[in-house]
């Protein structure tokens, strides 16, 4: 009996083993195929493609994209491009009892760790859209029961890791259980005793506001080329000025990033002109204005960190010195955009000088990146962030609304007047229509920020019966002649005041809009008209 059953048992074991082994091999095979064929979407490339689709949809070298809403690299990347050494303060330290337990505020010691713990707990409970990075030790306020404290933070909706600073005044008390409690908090930048001391430069001009030393968190100084030996070792890509000069800012960005992308492809340092000609569509005079500094609008510090660039003036100064010597710098002049980046890839010249002397539109920089070159040259959108100085204005506006606000983007201007392309826009963005539609989307008496190109300030007065309305012009002191922005930009502009122009307003409006809890768009929510005109939806 046993001899008859033994082969059956052995066969059953072998069968089970073979089945298990087959399942294991099949699973490994499937995993291997998936691992080889699956390619997760690259968030950086997807961001670049999104902007590329926006800009490349235009025709005949004319950019007609909506300039009332401006996106740059930090608005598109899904996660920070690099890590920071500061860990976010996610929860306060354990409550530490004061050494002296007394309900009298005269015994309140602002440097007591329990005070900071109470403030941290309060902030985490109130400001849920803020990531707190680090705190300074609290200092006494204006009375015995007040403490001022400063901290650094970033907003959760901002994709970059740029840090900002706030300082507020808190009113505290000692509870019955001898614990510190926050009973009230001041508004944005109310804790003046915790503010970082800023030295003032002596100003020889009478009656002028002395300019503060530039923000320590901003390093947009111009890098030098270096010694003669370093210059000779370098490899440079130099674009002479072309037809892009004084065109709209979207045109400028599309061309500038083409040049920067080619320099990256060729593994060269891009020679960039920090002087921008601002199109008349953004100026108060309606005329093109030269001599605008790139650093007024964009973050040059970030650009230096992620791309190899050198300022044109510094570059030309050193180059002229070396041209007078016998051992000249190897140079290749490229007279036409039709010579592709791929043809220049193996060129050993120290300087590749692209010249754009043909008539328009043959002299546009971005023509270099058309055709076959588009497959090889990627525009580095991640390198372009908005100016930290303007972003400080954005943070101050958001902070004054305690980071708790909704926003609506109201596009009017020339589009509202063009009834052929946008037949319903004027009616759908009228004051009465705005009240009706926004009441359905936003709770009454919320802070409502209106980002708009409408010039008439009182146009939105009917909204004030339903919401706490905020417009950019309500915060004009943030760029007035006593503001930090005014003093810092004036120091970049050789002591001359800088106008807070239309393009700066677009940048600030855009970033405040992105920080809103509820965001209402013109063409997605307020009107059925197409963003780019009739029959383009």
| pLDDT category of residue 367 using cuts at 50, 70 and 90 | very high
Instruction: Using the 3D structure, point to which of 383, 413, 430 is the last residue of a domain.
Output: 383
Same domain, yes or no: 393 and 500: yes
Please indicate, yes or no, if residue 34 is contained in any of the structural domains. no
What integer is the mean pLDDT of 246-251? 92
pTM of the model: 0.76
Same domain, yes or no: 242 and 377: yes
Least confident segment among 21-30, 144-153, 205-214, 283-292: 205-214
Taking the C-alpha atoms of residue 211 and residue 216, their distance in angstroms, rounded to an integer, is: 14
Residues in the chain: 537
* pLDDT for position 102: 55
Q: Is 65's pLDDT higher than 60?
A: no
| pLDDT category of residue 61 using cuts at 50, 70 and 90 | very low
Same domain, yes or no: 236 and 190: no
Same domain, yes or no: 287 and 421: no
Q: Which two tokens stand for residue 295?
A: 């650093």
pLDDT tens for residues 462-472? 999 999 999 99
Q: What is the CATH number of the domain that holds 486?
A: 3.40.50
* pLDDT for position 130: 86
* pLDDT for position 212: 44
Average model confidence (pLDDT) for the chain?
A: 83
Report the percent of the chain where pLDDT is more than 70.
Answer: 79
Q: Which runs of E-coded beta strand occur in 392-532? A: 406-410, 447-452, 468-471, 519-520
* pLDDT for position 327: 74
Q: 278 is in which domain, residue-wise?
A: 228-383
Same domain, yes or no: 245 and 343: yes
| pLDDT category of residue 338 using cuts at 50, 70 and 90 | very high
Least confident segment among 253-257, 449-453, 530-534: 530-534
Q: Is 333's pLDDT higher than 80?
A: yes
Least confident segment among 269-278, 322-331, 381-390: 322-331
Same domain, yes or no: 233 and 378: yes
For residues 507 and 297, the answer to whether their CB atoms sit within 8 Å is: yes
* pLDDT for position 62: 35
| Residue whose token pair is 């009834």 | 419
What integer is the mean pLDDT of 37-49? 38
* pLDDT for position 38: 39
Higher pLDDT, 117 or 64: 117
Instruction: Using the 3D structure, point to which of 175, 194, 213 is the last residue of a domain.
Output: 194
pLDDT tens for residues 169-222? 999 988 777 788 899 999 888 988 998 765 444 444 444 444 444 456 788 888
Please indicate, yes or no, if residue 330 is contained in any of the structural domains. yes
Taking the C-alpha atoms of residue 339 and residue 336, their distance in angstroms, rounded to an integer, is: 6
Nearest to 390 by CA among 502, 234, 230: 502
What integer is the mean pLDDT of 394-422? 93
H/E stretch holding 119 reads helix 113-126
| pLDDT category of residue 401 using cuts at 50, 70 and 90 | very high
For residues 310 and 272, the answer to whether their CB atoms sit within 8 Å is: yes
Same domain, yes or no: 401 and 362: no
Taking the C-alpha atoms of residue 231 and residue 83, their distance in angstroms, rounded to an integer, is: 32
Same domain, yes or no: 392 and 375: no
Distance from CA of residue 267 to its chain's centroid? 26
Same domain, yes or no: 351 and 232: yes
Instruction: Produce one character per residue of 138-147: b if its CB has 16 or more CB atoms within 10 Å, e if not.
Output: bbbbeeebbb
Q: Which two tokens stand for residue 25?
A: 């091999």
* pLDDT for position 424: 95
Please indicate, yes or no, if residue 189 is contained in any of the structural domains. yes
Q: Is 41's pLDDT higher than 90?
A: no
* pLDDT for position 195: 85
| pLDDT category of residue 34 using cuts at 50, 70 and 90 | low
| pLDDT category of residue 158 using cuts at 50, 70 and 90 | confident
- Could you give the number of structural domains in the chain? 3
For residues 254 and 364, the answer to whether their CB atoms sit within 8 Å is: no
Q: Is 295's pLDDT higher than 50?
A: yes
Please indicate, yes or no, if residue 435 is contained in any of the structural domains. yes
Q: How many CA atoms lie within 13 A of 37 on its CB side?
A: 6
Same domain, yes or no: 345 and 404: no
Same domain, yes or no: 259 and 330: yes
Q: Where is mean pLDDT largest: 80-94, 218-232, 275-289?
A: 275-289
Report the percent of the chain where pLDDT is more than 90.
Answer: 57
Instruction: Using the 3D structure, point to which of 194, 211, 244 is the last residue of a domain.
Output: 194
Q: For 232, phi and psi rounded to 5 degrees?
A: -65, -30
């Amino acid at each position: 009996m046993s001899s008859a059953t033994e082969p059956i048992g052995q066969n059953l074991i072998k069968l089970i083993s073979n089945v298990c082994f087959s399942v294991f091999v099949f699973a490994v095979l499937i995993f291997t195929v998936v691992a080889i064929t699956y390619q997760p979407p690259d968030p950086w490339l997807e961001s670049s493609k999104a902007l590329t689709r926006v800009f490349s949809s235009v025709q005949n070298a004319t950019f007609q994209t909506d300039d009332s809403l401006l996106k740059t690299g930090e608005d598109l990347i899904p996660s920070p491009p690099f890590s920071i050494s500061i860990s976010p303060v996610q929860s306060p330290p354990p409550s530490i009892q004061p050494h002296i337990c007394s309900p009298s505020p005269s015994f309140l010691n602002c440097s007591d760790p329990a005070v900071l713990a109470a403030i941290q707990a309060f902030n985490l409970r109130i400001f849920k859209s803020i990531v707190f990075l680090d705190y300074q030790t609290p200092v006494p306020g204006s009375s015995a029961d007040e403490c001022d404290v400063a901290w650094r933070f970033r907003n959760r909706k901002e994709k970059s890791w740029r840090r900002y600073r706030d300082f507020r005044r808190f009113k505290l008390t000692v509870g019955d259980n001898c614990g510190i409690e926050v009973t009230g908090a001041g508004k944005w930048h109310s804790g003046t005793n915790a503010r970082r001391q800023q030295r003032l430069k002596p100003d020889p001009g009478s009656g002028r506001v002395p300019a503060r030393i530039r923000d320590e968190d901003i390093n947009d100084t111009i890098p030098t080329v270096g010694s003669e030996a370093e210059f000779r070792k370098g490899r440079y890509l130099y674009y002479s000025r072309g037809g892009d000069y004084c065109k709209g800012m979207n045109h400028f960005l599309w061309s500038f990033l083409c040049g920067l992308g080619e320099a990256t492809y060729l593994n060269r340092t891009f020679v960039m002109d920090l002087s921008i000609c601002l199109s008349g569509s953004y100026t108060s005079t309606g005329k093109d204005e030269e001599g605008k500094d790139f650093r007024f609008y964009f973050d040059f510090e970030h650009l230096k960190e992620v791309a190899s660039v050198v300022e044109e003036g510094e570059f030309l100064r050193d180059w002229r010195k070396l041209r007078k010597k016998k051992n000249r710098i190897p140079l290749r002049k490229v007279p036409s955009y039709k010579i592709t980046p791929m043809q220049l890839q193996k060129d050993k010249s120290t300087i590749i000088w692209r010249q754009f002397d043909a008539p328009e539109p043959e002299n546009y920089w971005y023509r270099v990146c058309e055709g076959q070159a588009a497959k090889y040259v990627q525009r580095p959108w991640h390198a372009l962030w908005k100016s930290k100085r303007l972003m400080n204005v954005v943070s101050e506006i958001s902070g004054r609304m305690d980071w708790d606000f909704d926003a609506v983007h109201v596009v009017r201007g020339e589009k509202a007047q063009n009834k052929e392309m946008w037949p319903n826009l004027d009616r759908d963005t009228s004051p009465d229509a705005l009240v009706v539609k926004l009441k359905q989307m936003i709770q009454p008496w919320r802070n409502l920020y209106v980002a708009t190109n409408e010039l008439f300030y009182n146009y939105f007065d009917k909204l004030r019966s339903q919401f706490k309305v905020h417009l950019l012009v309500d915060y004009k002191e943030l760029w007035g002649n006593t503001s930090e922005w005014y003093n810092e930009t004036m120091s970049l502009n050789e002591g001359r005041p800088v106008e807070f122009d239309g393009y700066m307003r677009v940048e600030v409006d855009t970033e405040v809009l992105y920080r809103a809890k509820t965001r209402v768009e013109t063409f997605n929510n307020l009107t059925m008209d197409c963003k780019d005109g009739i029959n383009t939806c």
